[in-house]
Amino acid sequence: MNTPVISPEDEYLGEHHIYEPHITGLPQMRPYFRELWARKSFAIELSHTEMHAANTDTFFGQAWLVINPLLLASVYFVLVEIIGGRSQPPTFFAHLTSGLFLFYFISGAMIQGASSVVSGGRLIMNTSFPKALLPISATYTAFRRFLPTMIVFGVLDLVARLPIGLQLLWVPVILAEAVCYGLGLALIFATAQVYFRDTKSFLPYAVRIWLYLTPILWFADKAPKRLLPFLPLNPLYGIMGAWSEVLIQGKAPAHRLILIGGAWSLVTLVLGGLFFMSREREFAVRI
């Protein structure tokens, strides 16, 4: 869709649209983003309603937002500490939970983002709106599910007497990078899912393998020898490394890590956005 063009003769009009057969190719950026910003309440409300509806009939209701991360952390604790055998340093559980929660935010944005467009069939067929709102809503949902997990982590932080100080000011920076990266992935996989409906089925396995290859279930300096040279290739190397340094080691993160994380996030977001927006017109026909 060519979003509104305001030519001089139309300056006293509301809008002027021209629809021509360009299936791919980018829409005009400024009107697109203006429309996106104007409709942001819809993305937010959609997210709220999905979360609300998900836990409506259960006994624990919204408490699941906290129960889920706790159960998740205990599953991996059992796996690594008890079954894994080797005894871990005392900060291990905190490292595990903090990394796991952030990882689940990013992978959650990716997986929910992937199905956001194909499941919005009725909405897409009957309303004209910038469809990027759907993966944005999915990412926002993943972020809202992430926040209570940080409360759980905060409690663990105090119990384990991890260092608290100015380095925590880096947390919003790292989170911003994580949000951009998650949104970029959501946009990419939402588009991929429309063309290749098997994407959603492959993703959970890819996420699992990615989890095992990231320094979450193990410490980066104790990585298996074979893996060491490949560690920096992991897109989460920067973000997770910085996260661990700030929360567990209690120091400001190495600039290298912040920059690598920022680069990955920005590139993924821009490429994901361009990919999504260039294909957006075809969605209504393919769903």
Partner 1 sequence: MARRVPVGKPAIRVENLDITYRVSVESRPTLKGAIIRLGRPHHSIRVVEACKDVSFEVSNGQVMGVIGANGAGKSTLMRAVAGILPPTKGRIEIHGKVSTLLALGVGFNGALTGRENVVLGSLAAGLTRAQIERKYDEIADFAELGDFMDMPMRTYSSGMYSRLAFSVAVNMDPDILLIDEAMSAGDAKFRNKASDRMTDLANNAGTMLLVSHALGTIKSMCSEAIWLHKGRLIQRGDPDEIVAAYTKFLEVGEDPLSLEDI
CB neighbour list of residue 190: distance below 8 Å, 6 or more residues apart: 113, 114, 115, 116, 117, 134, 135, 138, 276
Interacting residues toward partner 1 by CB under 8 A:
1, 9-10, 12-23, 38-39, 41-42, 45-46, 49-50, 52-53, 56, 122-129, 281-282, 284-285
C-alpha to C-alpha distance for 238 and 224, rounded to whole angstroms: 19
C-beta atoms surrounding 227 within 10 Å: 14
Q: Which is nearer to partner 1, 195 or 212 (CB)?
A: 195
Sequence letter at residue 87: S
Name the 3-class secondary structure at 36.
Answer: helix
Tell the smallest beta-carbon distance from residue 251 to partner 1 (Å): 43
Q: Which is nearer to partner 1, 171 or 200 (CB)?
A: 200
**Token digits of residue 141:** 């949902």
Tell the smallest beta-carbon distance from residue 129 to partner 1 (Å): 7
Of 239, 235, 220, nearest to 272 by C-alpha is: 235
Of 68, 192, 56, nearest to 135 by C-alpha is: 192
C-alpha to C-alpha distance for 276 and 168, rounded to whole angstroms: 34
Tell the smallest beta-carbon distance from residue 218 to partner 1 (Å): 38
C-alpha to C-alpha distance for 272 and 254, rounded to whole angstroms: 27
C-beta atoms surrounding 108 within 10 Å: 20
Q: Which is nearer to partner 1, 45 or 67 (CB)?
A: 45
Q: Which is nearer to partner 1, 95 or 279 (CB)?
A: 279
Q: Which is nearer to partner 1, 28 or 127 (CB)?
A: 127
Tell the smallest beta-carbon distance from residue 63 to partner 1 (Å): 18
C-beta atoms surrounding 254 within 10 Å: 13
Q: Which is nearer to partner 1, 56 or 87 (CB)?
A: 56
Tell the smallest beta-carbon distance from residue 200 to partner 1 (Å): 17
Tell the smallest beta-carbon distance from residue 287 to partner 1 (Å): 11
